[in-house]
């Protein structure tokens, strides 16, 4: 009787030990994460009908995707579009952004050149994307 109880106890302890080791193993070896060390990012805040106050030049490298986050900090609607017929850059448009909405996009230039980004609601909100 006592031998059987001991055997049950040993099995239970073994299960706890294995479970514990498995848990520790997961902590020591977290799931592989994507290598995003080469990803560059740009944050544009639409505010007082400018982007970042100055509609800054954005420098990108050809064939290096650049993460772009557009945030609308105004009460009026804004968006951001890249529309270029040369084929040298990926065209896109954000959704129409209401106050405090944001949109993630990527700038991808295929050829060196100077391209334009702009807000379709406000002609004065425009700047250059310089790809080299």
Binding residues for Cu ion, rule: CB under 5 A, are 78, 119, 121-122, 125
What whole-number distance in Å separates Cα of residue 90 and Cα of residue 88?
A: 7
Nearer CB in complex with Cu ion: 78/108:
78
Q: Do residues 66 and 60 lie in contact, with contact meaning Cβ atoms separated by under 8 Å?
A: yes
Nearer CB in complex with Cu ion: 125/129:
125
Least gap, CB of 71 to Cu ion (angstroms) = 12
Q: Do residues 80 and 94 lie in contact, with contact meaning Cβ atoms separated by under 8 Å?
A: yes
Least gap, CB of 53 to Cu ion (angstroms) = 14
- Token code pair at residue 74: 């105004």
What whole-number distance in Å separates Cα of residue 68 and Cα of residue 132?
A: 17
Nearer CB in complex with Cu ion: 67/122:
122
Query: What is the C-alpha R_g of the chain?
Result: 26
Least gap, CB of 82 to Cu ion (angstroms) = 14
Q: How many residues can be counted in the chain?
A: 132
Nearer CB in complex with Cu ion: 118/131:
118
Least gap, CB of 26 to Cu ion (angstroms) = 47
């Amino acid at each position: 009787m006592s031998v059987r109880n001991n055997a049950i106890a040993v099995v239970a302890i073994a299960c706890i030990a294995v479970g514990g080791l498995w848990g520790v193993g997961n902590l020591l070896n977290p799931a592989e994460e994507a290598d995003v060390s080469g990803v560059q990012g740009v944050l544009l805040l639409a505010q007082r009908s400018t982007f970042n106050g100055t509609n800054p030049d954005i420098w990108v490298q050809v064939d290096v995707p650049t993460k772009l986050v557009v945030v609308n900090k105004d009460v009026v609607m804004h968006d951001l579009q890249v529309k270029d017929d040369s084929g040298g850059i990926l065209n896109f448009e954000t959704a129409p952004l209401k106050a405090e909405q944001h949109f993630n996009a990527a700038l991808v230039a295929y050829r060196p050149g100077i391209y334009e980004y702009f807000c379709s609601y406000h002609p004065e909100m425009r700047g250059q994307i310089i790809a080299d």
